[in-house]
Amino acid sequence: MTRVAIVAAFPGELKPLVHGWPHSTRNGIHFWAQRNEEEEWMAVCAGAGLGAATRAFAAIEDGGPIDLVFSVGWAGALSAQSEGGKAYNLAGVIDVRTGERFHCDAGAGSQWLVTSPKVAGRDEKRRLAATYSAALVDMEAAAIARLAQMRGIPFYCIKGVSDGLNEHLPDLNPFLATDGSFRSGRFILSVIPRPWYWPALVRLGENSRRASQGIAELLLDFLQE
């Protein structure tokens, strides 16, 4: 049986894909699984960041060897051509901490993604775009790519744009816990008295919803082939 791992950061990134799949949680990690006679698809999320992605990967491996792995989820745009709400099949991933480049397997797209240890704001996005000529930025994909490379597992990356290059959003980094979870209650309380952020947050929510749908469609098309 072929075991396909699908790793994201948050349940919302996987919602359209795993609708109706059996769900469970263990040690703060969310699991979904779908099986037939030939394949087992496992989706998992443990939070934002490299450490959380590593825990998610290890949690799937506890159930047996992985034959194929996808890093999926929301990403920020580093180019005006990366449309909010659209999902992209990426050519590869760059780890900004080490400069390592991880190519996705055959059939991937032409654009690259960079993985940063923090949520990138407008100024950081421009710096990353100028430095790496990449289209998107996330916080997890490089960890999954490295683990896949170490094990000789085919790796793919599908990301959906949640926020545009010039979007003016509040700094989300103070609301990320060390385990990768997002302190949504504290965040809401912080933005209630700052209405200048509200339009951008509404767009963030709508883009994220559309991006999750696009990720699910690309992934299902890929797997059904």
> Which pLDDT belongs to residue 114?
98
pTM of structure: 0.95
Q: What are 45-78's pLDDT values in tens digits?
A: 999 999 999 999 999 999 999 999 999 999 999 9
The percent of residues above 70 in pLDDT, for the chain, comes to 99
CATH superfamily assigned to domain 2-224: Nucleoside phosphorylase domain (3.40.50.1580)
Task: Give the tokens for residue 36.
Answer: 């037939």
d(CA 180, CA 199): 26
The structural domains of the chain, with segments of one domain joined by +, span: 2-224
Q: How many CB atoms lie within 10 A of CB 206?
A: 13
Express each pLDDT in 94-151 by its tens digit. 999 999 999 999 766 789 999 999 999 999 999 999 999 999 999 999 999 999 999 9
Of 25, 24, 8, 51, which Cα lies nearest the Cα of 179?
51
Q: Which residue has the tokens 């397997």?
A: 105
Q: Residue 124 is which amino acid? A: E
Cβ neighbors of 61 (< 8 A, separation 6 or more) are: none
CA 4 – CA 36 distance, rounded (Å): 12
Tokens read off for 12: 């919302």
